[in-house]
Structure 1
């Protein structure tokens, strides 16, 4: 954490004069948006259109990997949260666990990055990225994370999404090759 990190945190952290609508938006984003993102992905994975189901499972796998990686990094690095250092205002009760990187922001970016890799209109991509940015901002605004915690989380989330998507693509290509090879060998054996 640097002086710039602290300065940006204090600028983004909500103060006592914050309008209740802004505070309620931050609280909603932190407390409910993660559940909505996961529930939406799970619903699409289970009952969505056939073409969307596979992508929804990859989104869920990306989220799981991002949260797991964020947890491991927190255990290894042990950087304190702002309120444990007496900085800013903490608007939401939280344990004094390490804060780097933010699991919420990692999850949100994994969701958005993975979902955005699917073919969809640009407006939908903007909405998904907006949700990730809103959730990430709320963690700083409520005094729970430094900006560096969120930036690192975005890297973890985006890397998780890219890794899951690449592995899924390689797996699908391998199955397609095997299927083609089996079909080719089957047709060759019928001719003989």
Structure 2
């Protein structure tokens, strides 16, 4: 963490004088958006338009890869969270685990980048991007992460999404799964 990181954190963090409605919006973004992202994507993967289904599976895989990558990086980087250093206001209970990179923001950016590559119109792309930004903002606003935690998470999430895009199409996975499932 550097001085700029701390300054931006304190500017975005919702202090004790923040409007309660804004704190509630941040809490909802942090606690509910990840579930909605997964549920909506799973619904599209299972029952959406046939042209959208393969990309929906890629979105889910991107999010899973992002979550695993973020968890592994947290073990290598033991960066404290702002509240553990006595900075800002913590508006949501959280353990003192390492904060770099933000797992929530990593998965959210993997969701946004991967979903934006689906064959959908621009309002849907705007919506998934706004959801990722809202979730990312909420992690800083609630005092759980520094901006650098979120910026690193965005890079990692985008990298995971782009890596999954390079995989063969999901309709090619089935023969592989069946082949390996018969071995035994």
Same topology, TM > 0.5? yes
Deviations, residues 53-102 of structure 1 (Å, cap 9, x unaligned): 11110000000000100000000111110000000000011000000000
Whether 2:66 is the aligned partner of 1:66: answer: yes
TM-score normalised by length of structure 2: 0.90
2:155 matched residue in structure 1: 155
For the 8 Å contact 1:58–1:168, the answer to whether it is kept is: no
Q: Which residue in 2 is equivalent to 1:188?
A: none
Structure number with bigger Rg: 1
The answer on whether the counterparts of 1:75 and 1:98 sit within 8 Å (CA) in structure 2 is yes
**Which residue number in structure 2 is paired with residue 29 of structure 1?**
29
Residue 164 of structure 1 aligns with which residue?
164
C-alpha separation between the residues in 2 aligned to 1:79 and 1:17?
27
Deviating runs (4+, > 4 A) in structure 1? 169-172
Higher relative helix content: 1
Q: Which stretches in structure 1 are left out of the alignment for 5+ residues?
A: 176-192
Aligned-residue RMSD, C-alpha? 1.5
> Residues 1-192 of structure 1 correspond to what in structure 2 (within 5 A)?
1-168=1-168
Separation (CA, whole Å) in 1 of partners of 2:170 and 2:23: 44
Unaligned runs of 5+ in 2: 176-184
String of CA shifts for 1:138-182, please: whole Å, max 9, x gaps: 00000000000000000010000000011135996xx9xxxxxxx
